[in-house]
A and B are shown apart, each in its own frame.
Chain A
């Protein structure tokens, strides 16, 4: 965990909302993608300037260019800070943000509810049981971060499997049943996690668990990037491949079925993809609130509701959002690093209210 230094926040993370007239969407969509891509690339570079040691963008660029072109390193300290510490962290933030926003958009379609977030299926509380078990049993101190991720992943997938089984046994993966089962079982898992914390003799365990629950990207390294990046990529590809079916599903299960969509199979597939995606993300970064809830709404405002454009737009906006949220966590309260959820919640809640207040949402649950 690195200490941080206060530096001016140059860019607001909530600049992803545009408000052009509707009729112009056909022209606007490519433009939006162009601008977001540009912002994302610039942010990946700029964000690495912020942290314990404030670097100038020129220094950052110099390090990056030398690394990319295989030229000798000029300043070993700068190279270490930028290339070993901050670039992997920025990339992890982008991957996790993209994954969460993607998961949020897909979850909102699966349960046809604008309030759905990626953690709806009890995945995060299941992960917290696994992570808490690892922390309180002392395994964490012995074996380190990988055990924690492993425990969280096991808990997440176990919880998702249980939600899947219960919902299926009680009549199928309908939106209402998924929301109810996920919420109820999620509460149960949270209770188990709390019990584990209170039973633990180690007073520091509660602190570790709390910090983990609220999400952090501290300690990101190159080797930890591969699994989340591949997971996000594969799930994104699978979701895009089914985007026509997701469009139909968003209008209701009867309509989707009469349009020839294999509704049950699509729902089950969506569930499995989401459980794996969110399970991996939670294992890597803990629970990060609001990204998966707010970003898809902003993306819908930007490019519309068709999944073919909504999913990539959500992923890119999510990456952009979490990248800057992570920068704020590093520089806001010096020298402590604050959890991601604290910042994403502080920005996300008002942003969500503004987005919902701007328009009527007709997105109700069915079945």
Chain B
């Protein structure tokens, strides 16, 4: 269950201001794509446009060859799922009730929970290894557990395309890696916004770098995150180093020198 995602000459605006322009994407089914860029570069806005929640100010988004913004809300929600930051979940919901929201596009709003729905919820919770906490209220979960519950909701939505906004935010390093491994194993096309460049470099097939309101060409991490680009985009010195054990390429970021201070 994967989708081919294409965007041509995409531009996203908030009000009158164009936040991101010139985004060209051609994402193959099953790829994991990272979007990186400094704070406020429009990662979240771009994700909302790719999810069909916001209309692009130029260009269009094609999911499996279909113009996303021409689909009705329900149809669209069966193609694309967006898992955002969502810090403020209603505190009285149980974990399984949050996951069950993912089934919304597949049932009438007056229908209750049947055995099929329960099974789908249980499967999604099992996929994020939270089956034990199904009956726990979400406000009693840790930050990492809550992120995984939200991911499970995205999985329950059964969409070929899954968009994740900073899924590793507020997670400790072990849970970050755990969550990324989970994402990698999904049989979905995944696009995620990430802060951590090393995480993007080690876990994504290709990376989109947003720089000064433009999307750089989509490229494998070693090319997209080469030191010159990282220096220009983030204003830091990065040195790619090969991990002596795993062989992965990591980025060593040098501490800021006085010349870097704005």
Do these two chains interact? Answer: yes
A residues bordering B, Cβ < 8 Å?
22-23, 25-26, 240-248, 250-252, 254-255, 257-262, 300-301, 304-306, 308, 359-364, 366
Kindly list 19 other residue pairs between chains A and B, CB separation below 8 angstroms, not including A259-B102, A260-B73. A22-B94, A22-B135, A22-B137, A22-B140, A25-B94, A26-B135, A240-B110, A241-B110, A242-B110, A251-B86, A252-B84, A255-B101, A258-B81, A259-B77, A261-B104, A304-B97, A308-B112, A359-B139, A362-B91
> Is the CB of B259 closer than 8 A to any CB of chain A?
no
Q: Which residue of B lies closest to A300 (CB)?
A: B92
Residues of chain A lying within 8 A (CB to CB) of residue B105: 259-260
Contacts of B52 in A (CB 8 A): 258
A22/B136 in contact, CB under 8 A? yes
Q: List 24 A-B contacts (CB under 8 A).
A: A26-B135, A242-B109, A242-B110, A245-B109, A246-B109, A247-B104, A251-B86, A251-B90, A251-B98, A254-B48, A254-B53, A255-B84, A255-B86, A257-B73, A258-B51, A260-B76, A304-B92, A304-B97, A305-B92, A306-B93, A308-B112, A360-B91, A362-B139, A366-B88
* CB-contacts of B73-118 with A (<8 A): 73-78, 80-82, 84, 86-94, 97-98, 101-102, 104-105, 107-112
Give the one of A244, A258, A260, A261 with max B CB within 10 A: A258
Query: In the bound complex, what is the Cα–Cα distance between A241 and B89 (angstroms)?
Result: 23
- Chain B interface bracket (under 10, 10 to 19, 20 to 34, 35 or more): 35 or more
A22 to B134 CA separation, bound complex (whole angstroms): 11
Contacts of A366 in B (CB 8 A): 88
A301 to B53, CA, bound (A): 33
Partner of A361, one of B87, B91, B93, B107: B91
A361–B92 alpha-carbon span in the complex (Å): 9
Residues A305 and B107 in contact, CB atoms below 8 Å apart: no
B90 and A248 within 8 A (CB):
no
Q: What are the residues of chain A within 8 A of B87 when measuring CB–CB?
A: 362
* Residue of B whose beta carbon sits closest to that of A308: B112
Which B residue's beta carbon lies closest to that of A299?
B92
A23 to B136, CA, bound (A): 7
Chain B residues contacting A240 (CB-CB under 8 Å) are 110
In the bound complex, residues from chain A placing their C-beta under 8 Å from that of B112 are 308
Q: Of A258, A304, A359, A363, which one neighbours B94 at CB under 8 angstroms?
A: A304
| A95 to B138 Cα, complex, angstroms | 33
Given A248-B104, A304-B94, A306-B97, decide whether A254 and B84 contact each other with a Cβ distance below 8 A.
yes
With an 8 A cutoff between CB atoms, is B157 at the interface? yes
- Measured CB to CB, the closest approach of chain B to A33, in angstroms, equals 14
| A306 and B104 alpha carbons, distance in the complex (Å) | 13
User: In the bound complex, how far is the Cα of B135 from the Cα of A300, in angstroms?
Assistant: 15
Which of chain A's residues have a CB closer than 8 A to the CB of B107?
Answer: 244
**Residues in A neighbouring B101, C-beta threshold 8 A:** 247-248, 251, 255, 259
Q: What residues on B are CB-neighbors of A243 within 8 Å?
A: 109-110
Q: Provide the bound-state CA to CA distance between A244 and B108, in Å.
A: 8
- Whether B93 and A305, one on each chain, are in contact in the complex, defined by CB atoms closer than 8 angstroms, is yes
Asked if A363 contacts B91 (CB within 8 A), the reply is: yes
Given A25-B94, A251-B90, A254-B48, A244 and B109 contact (CB-CB distance below 8 Å)? yes
Q: Separation in Å of the A241 CB from the closest CB of chain B?
A: 4
Shortest CB distance B197–A (Å): 26
- Whether A258 touches B110, Cβ cut-off 8 Å, given contacts A23-B135, A248-B101, is no
Query: Complex Cα distance A351/B51, Å?
Result: 43
Q: Evaluate contact between B110 and A254: CB separation under 8 angstroms.
A: no
B residues in contact with A245, CB < 8 Å: 104, 109
Max chain A Cβ within 10 angstroms of own Cβ: one of B93, B107, B157: B93
Task: Name the CB-closest residue of B to A262.
Answer: B73
